[in-house]
């Protein structure tokens, strides 16, 4: 019966989030105006309008979701061994649901200014209660199983962003070498052993590939998309191409500089870890001096490009490079179990840079977008920390699975996902995003949640990577939806 409760809780979480996300967008606001009665529309003869059906559909889904939550309560209180804290969190959601229905009825029949905000706040609280209950229930179900089924050998980590992302080089199946590993295992071509021009070309390609690897190019697409979404949100259709080009160019250079400094500072640790032992400085393909010259050149070029946009963008670019290269790499990552959480600021800064590039300042919508990235980072990167628990322990990093165990880490993945989804809803309400954004965060967020629930149940490396890829898909799709909503709709 316990697995059934977890399944119902996950279903309820998706249902509540669907209601809250749609309710936070302009689509439901317009629909509520077209359907002023409750529980059905009070204006006759308007059932042919799409907005009316949106409002009625929202209410029908609310009834189904309420039924699911009641079933969760029945299973929790009449089942065997449900932890008290699961019941307590679920009781909050069940207790608030009738209040949410009443506020919804008031929203449809009155024009009080405080009602929409109260409706959204109570809905978000209900969602939080269900997610907290789900996390504790999944932990109780899975922590009883020995934590011995997350092998690390032979797997290369996938692309990430934000905290901890400095160690990712691309996903390959367990036991198969990555492209970087193949390069590292090849004997360097020297002038004496090369055959004329062909040897020189091969040597150039090898050196060029090593320097490209220093810049962590797989991080760039998602971080640039973060900045692009912030610019689109700030400017709307008036966004200028020059601002986009300069901001993204400065961002690429800043990411390259940060990645290069990370390679330099972690070169000794990289040699001890299986998945980073093939990095250019770990295998002496690039000297420390050359890497430092390369990194500082990229950093200076980045600041010069950002300065063409405005001074605040340049200052934030310098902060981003310094934070990732020094504060995260040297201070947070090797010394605190909260390294991934606090280090999420590195991935969040591109949102602030993109907003500042357009407005010359910082405003609440840009900060909220940055907060989405900040909260998403642990939900994203803890999956890799699970897959590479032994490798991180060998490297001496106090990652959450190493210090507090895998069951706790899986619960934190779920809870940070819930926090990410809630902040995404707050962004929708504040920035007045529409149905494209709502559809994106609900659909891909549901897939992400499904992957995390599977991670709890399967507890395998494959499940960890599945959740990792789902996290990338969620953020990528949501950021694209912001761009579409802001620039097109």
Q: Is residue 152 part of a domain?
A: no
Say if CB 270 and CB 168 are below 8 A apart: no
Query: 406-429 burial by CB neighbour count: b if 16+ within 10 A, else e?
Result: bbebbbbbbbbbbbbbbbbbbbbb
Closest CA to 284 of 183, 356, 396: 183
**Based on the domain organization, do 187 and 304 belong to the same domain?**
yes
Q: What is the pLDDT of residue 196?
A: 62
**Based on the domain organization, do 67 and 186 belong to the same domain?**
no
Q: What is the pLDDT of residue 50?
A: 64
**Based on the domain organization, do 176 and 136 belong to the same domain?**
no
**Based on the domain organization, do 31 and 65 belong to the same domain?**
yes
Q: Where are the alpha helices (DSSP H) in 308-338?
A: 311-322, 333-335
Closest CA to 100 of 119, 113, 116: 119
User: How far is the C-alpha of 126 from the C-alpha of 17, rounded, in Å?
Assistant: 9
Using omega within 30 degrees of 0 as the cis cutoff, is the peptide bond preceding 287 cis?
no
Say if CB 406 and CB 399 are below 8 A apart: no
User: How far is the C-alpha of 421 from the C-alpha of 439, rounded, in Å?
Assistant: 13
Q: What is the pLDDT of residue 167?
A: 41
**Based on the domain organization, do 194 and 127 belong to the same domain?**
no
Q: Is residue 118 part of a domain?
A: yes
**Based on the domain organization, do 42 and 101 belong to the same domain?**
yes
**Based on the domain organization, do 170 and 131 belong to the same domain?**
no
Q: What is the pLDDT of residue 57?
A: 79
Q: Is residue 370 part of a domain?
A: yes
Q: Is residue 50 part of a domain?
A: yes
Give this prediction's pTM: 0.84
User: How far is the C-alpha of 382 from the C-alpha of 467, rounded, in Å?
Assistant: 10
Sorted by sequence, the CB contacts under 8 Å of residue 59 that are 6+ apart come out as: 38, 39, 104
Residue matched to tokens 């699961």: 86
Angle of helix 288-307 versus helix 196-214 axis, rounded to 10 = 60
Q: Is residue 156 part of a domain?
A: no
Closest CA to 347 of 254, 413, 458: 254
**Based on the domain organization, do 138 and 220 belong to the same domain?**
no
> Nearest 5°: CA angle at 204, between 200 and 209?
150
**Based on the domain organization, do 106 and 170 belong to the same domain?**
no
Q: Is residue 148 part of a domain?
A: no
Q: What is the pLDDT of residue 80?
A: 73
Say if CB 135 and CB 89 are below 8 A apart: no
Give the CATH number, domain containing residue 434.
1.10.357.140
**Based on the domain organization, do 136 and 193 belong to the same domain?**
no
Per DSSP, what are the bridge partners of residue 156? 172
Q: What is the pLDDT of residue 192?
A: 44
**Based on the domain organization, do 216 and 321 belong to the same domain?**
yes
Domain of 358? 165-487
First to last CA, the chain: 46
**Based on the domain organization, do 113 and 188 belong to the same domain?**
no
The pLDDT tens digits along the chain (489 residues) read: 467 899 999 999 999 999 898 877 755 556 666 676 677 776 544 555 666 767 777 788 889 999 999 999 999 988 778 899 999 999 999 999 999 989 888 877 777 778 888 888 999 999 999 999 999 999 888 765 544 445 444 444 344 444 444 444 333 333 333 333 333 333 344 444 445 666 777 778 888 989 999 998 888 888 999 999 999 999 999 999 999 999 999 999 999 999 999 999 999 998 988 888 889 998 888 999 999 999 999 999 999 999 999 999 999 999 999 999 999 999 999 999 999 999 999 999 999 999 999 999 999 999 999 999 999 999 999 999 999 999 999 888 999 999 999 999 999 999 999 999 999 999 998 988 888 999 999 999 999 999 999 999 999 999 999 999 999 999 999 999 999 999 886
Query: 264-276 burial by CB neighbour count: b if 16+ within 10 A, else e?
Result: bbbbebbeebbbb
User: How far is the C-alpha of 115 from the C-alpha of 145, rounded, in Å?
Assistant: 46
Q: What is the pLDDT of residue 180?
A: 35
Sorted by sequence, the CB contacts under 8 Å of residue 28 that are 6+ apart come out as: 22, 54, 55, 58
Helix (H, G, I), strand (E, B) or coil at 172: strand
Q: What is the pLDDT of residue 346?
A: 93
Say if CB 351 and CB 370 are below 8 A apart: yes
Sorted by sequence, the CB contacts under 8 Å of residue 390 that are 6+ apart come out as: 152
Q: Is residue 149 part of a domain?
A: no
Q: What is the pLDDT of residue 204?
A: 81
Helices vs strands, H then E, count in the chain: 20, 0
Using omega within 30 degrees of 0 as the cis cutoff, is the peptide bond preceding 105 cis?
no
The number of domains in the chain is 2
Q: What is the pLDDT of residue 182?
A: 32
Q: Is residue 154 part of a domain?
A: no
């Amino acid at each position: 019966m316990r697995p059934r409760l977890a399944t119902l809780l996950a279903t309820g979480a998706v249902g509540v989030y669907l209601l809250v996300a749609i309710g936070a967008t302009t689509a439901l606001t317009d629909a509520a105006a077209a359907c002023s009665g409750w529980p059905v529309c009070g204006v006759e003869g308007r059932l042919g309008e799409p907005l009316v059906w949106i409002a009625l559909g929202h209410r029908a889904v609310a009834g189904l979701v309420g039924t699911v939550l009641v079933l969760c309560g029945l299973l929790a209180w009449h089942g065997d061994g449900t932890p008290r804290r699961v019941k307590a969190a679920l009781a909050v959601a069940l207790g608030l649901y009738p209040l949410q229905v009443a506020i919804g009825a008031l929203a449809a029949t009155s024009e009080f200014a405080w009602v929409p905000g109260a409706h959204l706040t109570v809905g978000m609280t209900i969602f939080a209660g269900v997610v907290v209950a789900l996390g504790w229930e999944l932990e109780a179900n899975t922590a009883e199983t020995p934590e011995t089924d997350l092998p690390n050998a032979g797997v290369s980590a996938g692309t990430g962003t934000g905290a901890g992302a400095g160690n990712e080089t691309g996903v390959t199946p367990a036991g198969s070498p990555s492209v970087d590993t193949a390069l590292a295992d090849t004997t360097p071509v020297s002038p004496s052993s090369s055959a004329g021009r062909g040897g020189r070309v091969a040597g150039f390609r090898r050196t060029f590939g090593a320097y490209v690897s220093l810049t962590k190019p797989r991080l760039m697409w998602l971080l640039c998309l973060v900045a692009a979404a912030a610019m689109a949100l700030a400017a709307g259709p008036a966004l200028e191409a020059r601002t986009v080009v300069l901001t993204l160019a400065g961002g690429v250079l800043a990411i390259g500089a940060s990645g290069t400094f990370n390679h330099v500072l972690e070169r000794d640790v990289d040699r001890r870890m299986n998945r980073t032992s093939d990095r250019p400085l770990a295998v002496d393909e690039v000297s420390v001096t050359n890497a430092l010259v390369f990194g500082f050149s990229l950093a200076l070029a980045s600041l010069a490009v950002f300065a063409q946009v405005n001074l605040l963008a340049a200052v934030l670019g310098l902060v981003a490079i310094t934070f990732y290269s020094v504060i995260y790499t040297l201070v947070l990552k090797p010394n605190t179990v909260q390294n991934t959480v606090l280090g999420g600021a590195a991935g969040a800064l591109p949102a602030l840079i993109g907003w500042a590039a357009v407005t010359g300042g910082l405003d609440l919508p840009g900060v909220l977008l940055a907060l989405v990235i900040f909260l998403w980072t642990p939900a994203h990167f803890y999956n890799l920390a699970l897959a590479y628990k032994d490798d991180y322990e060998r490297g001496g990093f106090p990652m959450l699975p190493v210090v507090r165990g895998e069951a706790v880490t899986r619960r934190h993945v779920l809870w940070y996902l819930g926090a990410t989804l809630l902040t995404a809803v707050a962004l929708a309400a504040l920035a007045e995003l529409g149905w494209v954004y709502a559809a994106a965060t609900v659909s891909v967020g549901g897939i992400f949640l499904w992957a995390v629930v599977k991670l709890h149940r399967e507890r395998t490396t494959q499940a960890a990577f599945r959740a990792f890829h789902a996290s990338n898909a969620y953020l990528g799709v949501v950021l694209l939806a912001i761009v579409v909503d802001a620039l097109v709709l």
